[in-house]
Structure 1
């Protein structure tokens, strides 16, 4: 996509990102609120990557978090009307470039079991499920 621009989100983008996720991302998390995303951007200003079209419209996101040891991918989302145009691929490439720059060696992605469409996209990008691992979660707040 020639007119696609990928850039880190800034504080002024947060409301539009949250609104975008309501349209483009399946499922929600307890941290999908302004405070949660604001903490992410304050802690790691380059973690939340945005894809914008030539008109500046938000068409995709990915969170590329690195904790110094592992590379974690969250919230890969592409606007439903813009899917299958290479936006997700471009976002993943930008995230992986970030990880390599930071010294990361392996990326993992949080993908809902029921989201079959996402499974196909992640496989096409070279990711595979690891059946020997299961995800255990504990909410830290009510």
Structure 2
């Protein structure tokens, strides 16, 4: 894993990140556009963590911290690079970030139908909490 580089995204990489998510991530979000990704990086430059191997973007996770909660989104790895420890390296970087800012618990948004993701999160020590449900209201 020594050839894997973990780093924060730069605002000018928004289009590349969106293209990566189309190939590697499950589902879409109302904020999946250049403006949404750029605002995320501008507001919190450490939130979008990327993994690169040989100059190729192979993984991502959003590790958002609002001063209250540690929230994880968009853990994704290129299909051709899965099962090589990339998601574990990304989660380790996210968790280190959370501990450094005083975070107490990480919450992950995981699609209900994504069984592969359920196994990934469980193997990383996360557990499902069935007594919560997400409620949403789009503003646009």
TM-score over 0.5 for the alignment?
yes
Q: Deviations over 1:93-124 (max 9, x none)?
A: 00000000011000000000000000000000
Tell me the residue number matched to 1:127: 126
Tell me the residue number matched to 1:71: 70
Q: Deviations over 1:54-108 (max 9, x none)?
A: x211000000000001000000000000000000000000000000001100000
d(CA) in 1 for partners of 2:123, 2:116 = 11
d(CA) in 1 for partners of 2:14, 2:25 = 15
Tell me the residue number matched to 1:51: 51
Superposition deviation, residue 139 in structure 1: 0.8
Tell me the residue number matched to 2:27: 27
List gaps (5 residues or longer) in structure 2.
none
8 A contact 2:8–2:49 mirrored in 1 = yes
Q: TM-score, normalised by structure 2?
A: 0.99
Q: TM-score, normalised by structure 1?
A: 0.97
Root-mean-square deviation (Å): 0.5
Alignment of 1:1-142 (within 5 A): 1-53=1-53, 55-141=54-140
How many correspondences in the alignment? 140
List gaps (5 residues or longer) in structure 1.
none
